[in-house]
């Protein structure tokens, strides 16, 4: 019997999912993306060489692994083709390994224009989106007016739908946002070029996943962003436009929850966030700067500096519950090397002095103060450790305390950016 393993982020994204997916795909017949778009940024480092992926599943560098983009992913054809070309320049046969659901919603130029116009109009109240058209594309999908990849292969039908969409969106762009209109003919011509390039990669991804499942193959589901950016369970409205939690797997791939065997939650040994929104443990001092510098905390997709803070056990407990996490992978432990004291947030105190659990929306975080527990740090290096015994005693004590506070086992520990700088205590595919 094969196993279906999920890898997803349990914080606000940027937890180090790409490396872990790449590591575990050694056992997988297929790797599947099921939500998000090219707002994701998964960094892989193999033998010192760095590769950043945005849309293509992280298994693409492995020979014999099928890479599938499920119906829940919004696809920008221009971004996808750029990514394919970059990988092909490195000798990766992407078109042989990649297959895409024709049900994926398209991100086109008017989505990007709307996304950027809205953020500009919000000023200081901006959400902090990547400006890549993700939200407007999901809006079109939910409003049942969106174009999908499968529409590209029917020119007349596509042109008629595109015309209606541009009338609708250009009205907003020109009259409300005072931005230039998107040209119909230029957009149509560009899309027809995309159609020729994308057609050979089309596949009924849901049917293929069930064929693999029935054949007893191992399948990996790769999440994008993090649980606290989920449109329903995140710090709304400072969230992404898709379901980043485990529930998104069923809707975004067509594989029901009963078929999932293990859900691995990726968790940094501290906390980071990109863009706007609440962040109770954020540090504005030298330690925050230390974490940012040591952890190279700049977004793989946007290049924006990430906000840094102490590990937050409160939000992680919520993520574990929402995702039914089987085990955790603790990443970037080595970034904490050299700190004399390490703090863990174990609760939030409101203005009345009462200790409360994680709020369900951004506004409810206003006025909350983190309640910390302190632990001794360690001066020894954990970088590149491959066994638990190689870690300093205080690092092992920190890991144990995190497990106790969040109520889930830490099955994998990442001690560096390279694929082989990893301690595997319990293998998800075992």
Any known ligand binding at 400? no
46: Cβ contacts below 8 Å, ≥ 6 apart: 22, 61, 418, 419
38 is catalytic: no
Any known ligand binding at 414? yes
Any known ligand binding at 415? yes
Any known ligand binding at 302? yes
Q: d(Cα 324, Cα 263) in Å, to the nearest integer?
A: 7
141 is catalytic: yes
Any known ligand binding at 223? no
Angle at 15 between CA 310 and CA 232, to 5 degrees: 90
| Active-site choice (38, 111, 141, 233) | 141
Q: d(Cα 176, Cα 287) in Å, to the nearest integer?
A: 44
The closest alpha carbon to 355, from 317, 314, 309, 308, belongs to 314
Any known ligand binding at 131? no
Any known ligand binding at 156? no
Residue 69, SS3 per DSSP = strand
Any known ligand binding at 91? no
| Beta strand spans in 274-340 (E) | 307-309, 311-312, 327-331
Any known ligand binding at 130? yes
Any known ligand binding at 418? no
Any known ligand binding at 341? no
Any known ligand binding at 159? no
Any known ligand binding at 70? no
Contact, 320 vs 226, CB < 8 A? no
Any known ligand binding at 306? yes
Any known ligand binding at 334? yes
Contact, 260 vs 281, CB < 8 A? no
Any known ligand binding at 76? no
Residue 106, SS3 per DSSP = strand
| Active-site choice (14, 218, 312, 411) | 14
Torsion (CA) 98, 103, 104, 105 in degrees, nearest 10: 150
Q: d(Cα 268, Cα 320) in Å, to the nearest integer?
A: 14
Any known ligand binding at 48? no
Contact, 344 vs 369, CB < 8 A? no
Any known ligand binding at 337? no
Sheet holding 98-100, edge to edge: 98-100, 66-69, 30-33, 219-222, 4-9, 262-268, 327-331, 410-414, 422-424
Q: d(Cα 102, Cα 150) in Å, to the nearest integer?
A: 4
* Residue labelled with tokens 């954990």: 382
Q: Please compute, for residue 6, the number of CA atoms within 13 A of its CA located in the half-sphere on the CB side.
A: 33
Contact, 217 vs 29, CB < 8 A? yes
Any known ligand binding at 377? no
Q: What are phi and psi of 305, to 5 degrees?
A: -70, 135
| Active-site choice (3, 38, 42, 54) | 42
Any known ligand binding at 135? no
Distances (CA, A) of 61 to 87, 324, 384: 9, 29, 22
Q: d(Cα 30, Cα 64) in Å, to the nearest integer?
A: 9
Any known ligand binding at 230? no
| Binding-site residue ranges for substrate | 300-306
| Binding-site residue ranges for Mg(2+) | 14, 41
Catalytic residue numbers? 14, 42, 141
| Binding-site residue ranges for GTP | 13-19, 41-43, 306, 332-334, 414-416
| Binding-site residue ranges | 13-19, 39-43, 130, 144, 225, 240, 300-306, 332-334, 414-416
């Amino acid at each position: 019997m094969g196993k279906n393993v999920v890898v997803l982020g349990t914080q606000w994204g940027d937890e180090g999912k790409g490396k872990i997916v790449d590591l575990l795909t050694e056992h997988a017949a297929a790797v599947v993306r099921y939500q998000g778009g090219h707002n994701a940024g998964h960094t892989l480092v193999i033998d010192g060489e760095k590769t950043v992926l945005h849309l293509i599943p992280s298994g693409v560098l492995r020979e014999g692994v099928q890479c599938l983009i499920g119906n829940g992913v919004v696809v920008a054809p221009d971004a996808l083709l750029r990514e394919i070309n970059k990988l092909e320049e490195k000798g990766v046969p992407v078109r042989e390994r990649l297959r895409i659901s024709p049900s994926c919603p398209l991100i086109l130029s008017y989505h990007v224009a709307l996304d950027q116009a809205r953020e500009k109009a919000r000023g200081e109240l901006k959400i902090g989106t990547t400006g890549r058209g993700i939200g407007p594309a999901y809006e079109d999908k939910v409003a049942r007016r969106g174009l999908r990849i499968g529409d590209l292969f029917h020119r007349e039908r596509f042109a008629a739908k595109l015309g209606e969409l541009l009338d609708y969106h250009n009205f907003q762009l020109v009259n409300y946002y005072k931005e230039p209109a998107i040209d119909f003919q230029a957009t149509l011509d560009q899309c027809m070029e995309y159609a020729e390039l994308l057609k050979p990669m089309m596949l009924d991804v849901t049917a293929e996943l069930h064929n693999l499942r029935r054949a007893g193959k191992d399948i990996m589901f790769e999440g994008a962003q993090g649980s606290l950016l989920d449109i329903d369970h995140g710090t709304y409205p400072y969230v992404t436009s898709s379901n980043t939690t485990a529930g998104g797997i069923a809707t975004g791939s067509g594989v029901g929850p009963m078929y999932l065997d293990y859900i691995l939650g990726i968790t940094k040994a501290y906390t980071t966030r990109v863009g706007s929104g609440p962040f109770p443990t954020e540090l504005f001092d030298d330690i925050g700067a230390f974490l940012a510098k040591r952890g190279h905390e700049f977004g793989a997709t946007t290049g924006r500096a990430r906000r840094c803070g102490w590990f937050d056990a409160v939000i992680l407990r919520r993520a574990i519950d929402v995702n039914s996490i089987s085990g955790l992978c603790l990443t970037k432990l080595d970034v904490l090397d050299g700190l004399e004291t390490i703090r863990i947030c174990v609760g939030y105190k409101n203005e009345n002095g009462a200790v409360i659990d994680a709020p369900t929306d951004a506004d409810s975080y206003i006025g909350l103060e983190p309640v910390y527990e302190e632990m001794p740090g360690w001066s020894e290096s954990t970088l590149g450790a491959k066994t638990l015994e190689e870690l300093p005693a205080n690092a092992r004590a920190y890991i144990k305390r995190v497990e106790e506070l969040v109520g889930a086992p830490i099955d994998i520990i990442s001690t560096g950016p390279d694929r082989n700088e990893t301690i595997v205590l319990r293998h998800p595919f075992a």
